[in-house]
Structure 1
Amino acid sequence: MTTLRYLNGYPDHLLQQVRTLIDRQQLGSWLNQRYPDGHDVISDRALYDYTQELKSRYLRTAPPISKVCYDSKINVLQHALGLHTSISRIQGGKLKNKKEIRIAALFRKAPMAFLRVIVVHELAHLRERDHNKAFYQLCLHMEPHYHQLEFDMRLYLTHQELLTGSAV
């Protein structure tokens, strides 16, 4: 039986449907049919621009972001697909607080919907630190299909793991 590490906590009936797709070797084709489009947000600059566009549309009053980049050191085994950091530095006589967002490099080649869900998730952390009700409401404000996309992204990670034989 396949271990579904990325789907912990989901109901058994959903997990059984996923196992059926895996057993029939149809998970990849199902994902390709549902998410056929890639994206051209492959450089760090393009990712920064994309993130800033979403931020300016939904989070105008949130603190500015100084850096957004793909990071090949982020791996899913550490239960991270993206990271948000806040760095405080003293410059002159002032304390400067810089916000950074790092996205796992595997999303360079993932469908656009999955990149969007990760960026939305990390942007929501600009306002809400914890994964609480307000956090998920903010995610849904930026992406109305957030929960479905997050589940499908977890299916994508499961499929990638099956292809490579190891966690992505």
Structure 2
Amino acid sequence: MEDFNEKGLPAFSATLMNNNPPEAFSSALTFTTSEFENTPHIDNDSSYLAAGWWMQVNKKTGEVNMDDNKEVVSGGEFYFPQENVKIDFSKINGICQIIWMANKCIFDQTIPDTKTDTRLGMSCQVAKKLSTAFEKYRHGIHPSHFKVRDGKSFS
């Protein structure tokens, strides 16, 4: 991830600044659950690739469904409309990993039909806003220089 490493952005796994492990590729981990859906879009990330994992979990316990005999959550497909590729999670029992080009692929996720279980998704990428904010910080633009944003002052 050229933008990630060139700007010295700390990795999610780093314990010290400027000390990223060689396998580092992300600074954020996102989670979505409980009937999550979105419209077709392209992420505005600094990273070239994004990685995501999806699994069926029990709504009450959060336990991952690995039982072949258990009812699966239907719907909630991950869809790349330009490529006409749809990942049908109802056919997957366990954890599904997807890697895609973060700034090139249009994608969306449809709403799942749930009963006792729901779908949990998580992804790793480098958000452009985080990368830009960190670059400003490295060049001496600190919170005291920021203007009022979202109705709050950083001073």
* Alignment TM-score, normalising by the size of structure 1: 0.21
Bigger share in helix: 1
Tell me which structure has the larger Cα radius of gyration. 2
* Greater strand proportion: 2
- TM-score normalised by structure 2 residue count: 0.22
